[in-house]
Amino acid sequence: MRQSKLISQKHKEKPAEATLASHIFLLRGGYMRPLANGIYSLLTPGKRVQQKIEAIIREEMDRIDGQEVMLPVVMPRELWDESGRWTSVGPELLRFKDRTGHDMLLGMTHEEACTALARTEVTSYRDYPFMLYQIQTKYRDEARSRGGLIRVREFTMKDAYSFHTSEADLDAYYDKVAQAYHTIYRRIGIPEVVAIQSDTGMMGGKIAHEYQLVTDSGEDKIVMCDKCQSYWNAEVATTNYTYEKEDLLPLEEVATPGVKTIEDLVKFLNIPANKMAKMVFYTTEKGQTVAVMIRGDLEVNETKFAKVVKSLFNFATDEEVLKVGAVPGFATGINLTCPVYVDKSLVGACNLVCGANKEGYHLKNFNLERDLPNAEIVDIALVQEGDICPKCGAKLHLTRGIEVGNIFKLGTKYTESMHMTYTAEDGSEKTPIMGCYGIGVGRSLASVIEAHHDEYGPIWPLSIAPWQVQINAMGLDKEGIAETAEKLYADLEKAGVEVLYDDRNLSAGVQFAEADLTGLPLRLIVAPKALAQGMIEYKVRGTGERGLIPVAEAVDFTQKWLQQEMKKYA
C-alpha cells in the first residue's frame, strides 16, 4: 500500500473526548472515526487489524470443531418471548417495529437465534456434541459509551454456542474452549489476559468466566491474590472473616441524637466502623421491602444480592422502611416484619454497635448469634483491599481490567424454554445442555494497544499489525532514493511481505511521527547518508533496535526477521 493513496489521516493533537491510550491512538492514527456516540467507522488500517484478529479466532474455533454460521442481526420478538428475555432485558436491548407493526429487535447476543437454528437441524443424540459460531455485528444501546472501542453500542463479536447431552460433556468442552481462548489471546499479542470467575448476568446459567486484560485503564474491578494467582470479578469475589473471641456483653441502649450515618457514629462513639452493624433496605420489583444487615465498614454487593432475592430492586424509601418496623437512620434487624438477610461478615463478630429502632438511639453489644439467632446468613459483601483470600489465606488486592471475552455454562436455560429436544439412545426425548463463548473483536483490538504502546503510538504485534513493514523514503528528489525505495517496495511485495510505503516527499520528522502512530513492527529507511554507503537502515518498533543492512540483502533480511518474529505468535 502506498501512503499517498491511503485514505487515513493522522492527527498531531490528542482528541478532547479521548482518555484511554487505545482511544487516542485509534483516532490520531487514522484507524477509526466516530459516526455517532458509541458507533465508529473503521478505516483501512483498523479494518486490516480486525480481519487478522478474526482470522486467528476462526482458526482456533475450527480447531476445536466449531462450525461457522451467520445469524441475523434483526430478530422477531417471538424468539425472545420464548426465552423470556423480551421483558427481562432492560433498555439496552433496542426494540422497534417494522413497517407492518411487528415487534423486532437488534441482536445484542444470539442465544435465541442459535437455539432456533439448531433445533431445526439436530434431532438425534448421534449428532451431539456440536458447536456453532459466528463473527457478527451486534448492537447494545449502552447508556454510557466510553473509551473508544472499549464500550460501544455497535460492535463486532465472535459468539459460539455448544450443545451437549450431558454435564460431563459440557465440562470437558468448556475446558477445551478455555484453552483455545488463551491461545487466541497469545496469538494476537496479549498473553497477559487471565481467566477469572464472573457473574452469569443476563446470559443466565450456572458458571461463567471472563477473560480480562489486567490494566489500570480497565473499567471492571478485579480481585486478585498475588500468592496463589487467583482472580475474581468483584461482582462474585468472596472472602473469609475471622474475629478474636470476646465475652458477650449485655445489650445497652445509648443516646445518639441526630447521629444517623456510620461516619458520624464513628466520631460520636469513638468506635471503628468494623465494630458496627448497619442496615440497608431495598424494595423488590414485586413491591416487597427486604432488609440487609452488614458490617459497618462494608458495602452490599448488589449483584450477589440480586441472586439472593431473585429480583431487581431499588433502595427503599423512608416510608417503606417505617412500614416494616424500622426507624430510618437508627434501624436494626431485630423484630422487623420483613425478610432480613445478614451478611456473613457479622458471623462471629462480637459486641457490635447497631441501631435501636428508636429515634436518637443505638444499641451497644449486639451479638448476632444471641440477638438475631434465626437470621438468614448470606454472602453479599463487596470484597475490599487487604481482605483474606478464600483459597490460600493471603491478602487480596484490588485492580482493574478490560473484559475481552467470556464463557458460560448455560445449562438448559434456552433449550428448555425454547423446547429444543433430541431423541436419546433409549428413544426418550431429552433437552440438550448449552455452553456459550464470546470474544469482543473491537475490544480485543483496543486492548492490544492498551497493553502495548508508548507515548508515540501503538506497538502492534506482528500477527495482527495492519502491515508488516513500513518503508520510509527520505528525500525522494535526491539521487537514488526513489529508485531504491520503489525497487525495495516491489521486491518485498513480490516476496509476499505486507508493506506500507511512505512515498510522499515529506520531512523525516513528519514521516517518523506518522510511522510511530501506525506502529508497524519493522521499519526500513531509505536515506541519502546510508544509501551512499550502499546501506538501508532498519528499526524495530517494539524494542528500538536499529542497524544497517546492505541494499542487496534487505529483502532476505526482512523475510528472516519476519519468520523469526512470527514464531512468538504461532
pLDDT of residue 201: 58
Instruction: Tell whether 426 and 494 lie within a shared domain.
Output: no
pLDDT of residue 200: 60
First to last CA, the chain: 25
Q: What are the backbone angles phi and psi of residue 533, rounded to the nearest 5°?
A: -100, 5
pLDDT digits (tens, 9 = 90+) for 326-361: 999 999 999 999 999 999 999 999 999 999 999 999
Instruction: Tell whether 426 and 493 lie within a shared domain.
Output: no
CATH of the domain at 364: 3.90.960.10
d(CA 260, CA 356): 11
Q: Could you tell me if residue 357 is inside a domain?
A: yes
pLDDT of residue 71: 98
Instruction: Tell whether 292 and 374 lie within a shared domain.
Output: yes
Instruction: Tell whether 190 and 291 lie within a shared domain.
Output: no
Q: Could you tell me if residue 73 is inside a domain?
A: yes
- Considering the entire predicted model, what is its pTM? 0.88
Instruction: Provide the grid cell at 92.
Output: 439496552
Q: What is the DSSP letter of 395?
A: B
d(CA 54, CA 49): 9
Instruction: Tell whether 162 and 267 lie within a shared domain.
Output: no
Cβ neighbours of residue 218 under 8 Å, at least 6 residues apart? 212, 399, 400, 401, 402
Q: Could you tell me if residue 491 is inside a domain?
A: yes
Domain range for 355 is 252-378
Instruction: Tell whether 63 and 194 lie within a shared domain.
Output: yes
Instruction: Tell whether 113 and 168 lie within a shared domain.
Output: yes
Instruction: Tell whether 519 and 486 lie within a shared domain.
Output: yes
Identity at 194, one-letter amino acid code: V
Specify the pairing of strand 469-473 against strand 499-502: parallel
d(CA 463, CA 179): 19
Q: Could you tell me if residue 231 is inside a domain?
A: no
pLDDT digits (tens, 9 = 90+) for 206-261: 688 999 999 988 888 899 998 998 888 888 889 999 899 899 999 999 999 999 99
Q: Could you tell me if residue 9 is inside a domain?
A: no
Q: What residue ranges of the chain have pLDDT lower than 50?
A: 202-203
Q: How many domains does one find in the chain?
A: 3
Residue 149 contacts residue 21 (beta carbons within 8 Å): no
CATH of the domain at 410: 3.30.930.10
Residue 73 contacts residue 136 (beta carbons within 8 Å): yes
Instruction: Tell whether 167 and 74 lie within a shared domain.
Output: yes
Q: Could you tell me if residue 277 is inside a domain?
A: yes
